[in-house]
Structure 1
Amino acid sequence: MTTVTTLAQAAIEIAPAPARSGLMVDHIIGAVVYAALGILVLLITLYGMARFAPFPLHKELEEDQNVAVAIVIASVLLGISIIIAAAIMG
C-alpha cells in the first residue's frame, strides 16, 4: 500500500462516525453538482453546434443518414467531455 492510502485509511478509522457520514454526503452532493454542470455544458455545446452549423444537422443525420457528420459530432462531444472531466478533476 502507498503512504497516502495508509494515511487515508487511518484518518477514516480515527474520525467519528457522524464526521464520516457528513463527509460522504458532501462528496455525493459535489459529485451530483459537477455532473449536472458537466451535462449542462455538454448540452450547450450540442446546441451551439446545431445552431451554428452551415447545414441542418437533423436533416443530415436522420434523413440523409450522413455518417461523416455523425462522426464529427461524436468527436466534438467526446473532446468536450474530456475537457469537462479534466476541469472537474483539477
Structure 2
Amino acid sequence: MEWLKPAALLGSLVYAIIGVAIFWISFVIVDKITPYDLWGEIVEKQNRALALVVASMCLGISIIVAAAIH
C-alpha cells in the first residue's frame, strides 16, 4: 500500500508531467529540425513510412525519458 501515500502519489504525478513535457519539447525540436512539416506529411498526405519513423522516434524518446526519471 506504498503507492496510496500522498507523497508517493504526488511524486508520481509530478514526474509524469515532467516526462510528458520533456517528450513534447523533444518532439517539437525534431519537428523543427526536419526540412518538412511532419504533421502535414502524416495527416494530409498519408505518408505511412514517415508515420512509422515518427512513431519509433516517439517510443525511443519515451524510453529515454522514462529511464532518466526512474
TM-score range, shorter chain: 0.7 to 0.9
Q: Which runs of 5+ in 2 are unaligned?
A: none
CA RMSD, 1 decimal: 1.8
TM-score by length of 1: 0.69
Deviation at 1:59, TM superposition (A): 2.2
Distance 1:35 1:59 in 2: 28
Distance 1:78 1:59 in 2: 20
Number of equivalent positions:
69
The aligned counterpart of 1:75 is: 56
- Look at both structures and tell me which one has the larger radius of gyration over its CA atoms: 1
* SS of aligned partner of 1:65: coil
TM-score by length of 2: 0.86
* SS of aligned partner of 2:14: helix
The aligned counterpart of 1:65 is: 46
Distance 2:43 2:63 in 1: 27
Matches within 5 A, 1:8-87: 24-87=5-68
Q: Which moved more, 1:46-55 or 1:65-74?
A: 46-55
Letter in 2 for 1:65: Q
Between the aligned residues of both structures, percent identity stands at: 41
Q: Which runs of 5+ in 1 are unaligned?
A: 1-11, 13-19
Runs of 4+ in structure 1 displaced over 3 angstroms? none
**Bigger relative contact order, structure 1 or 2 (CA pairs below 8 A, ≥6 apart):** 2
Letter in 2 for 1:24: K
